[in-house]
Amino acid sequence: MARLPWLGPGIVVVGAGVAALGIWYWHHAQPVVGAKIDTIPVDAHSEFVVYAEAGGGDRDFVELHVGDELRWQALVPHYEGRPGAPGLAWNRNVVSVRVNRDGREELFVLSVEDATKVGGVRLAVDHEPIPLQTAANSTMVTLTDHNRTYELVAGGAWHQLVAVDLSSGTGVWKLELGKSAITGAQLSGNSLIIDQGDKRTIVNTTDGSVN
């Protein structure tokens, strides 16, 4: 399968060193699968399953299951999703996995075919270091229409929404949402509806403009 141009300019390019790091994990760390974190259905026959690393490690596993078959397994840095707030987005070719690595919020992007790492994007670079999202004020992590992924990144006094094209790996737009905690987020047609307490922001998914 031809590799996608995930190493384009994007928001921040994460180069070949990140891919090499993924290979290093497998050959040196010898991690073991621990407790299940979440299951994210793809269709009636397939699903992504995320597991923690046994022994309290700071990495996690992402698996693709098709029917009763484990198609592949990949090791990633700390997975930022949780039940009810997944950190995965996918199309026919790639799956993006939202992770936190040393205070950086990133998308690790894997081939759906064989879990080969095809690229990565750093999010909200201007706010680094970024806390783990479980400790930040945000109810959601990733929303997707399977063409783009819409990533909510939160800190103690700020929130940012970032749109990334899944086919090219480029950042499309980003929007600062202020300090109020996000209490709800959903996709509705071509709009993203973001609730922050009594405030509702409706964002056009095409260009990030606010209605």
Share of the chain above pLDDT 90, in %: 78
Give the DSSP per-residue string, 134-160.
GGSSBS--EEE-SSEEEEEEE-SS-EE
Residue 41 burial by Cβ neighbours in a 10 Å radius (0-12, 13-18, 19+): exposed
**Per-residue confidence band for 30, with pLDDT thresholds at 50, 70 and 90:** confident
pTM as predicted: 0.86
How far apart CA 121 and CA 113 sit, in angstroms, is: 20
Share of the chain above pLDDT 70, in %: 86
Segments making up each domain of the chain, as ranges: 16-204
Give CATH for domain 16-204: 2.40.128.630
pLDDT at position 4 is: 45
Determine the 3-state secondary structure of 37 from DSSP. Answer: strand
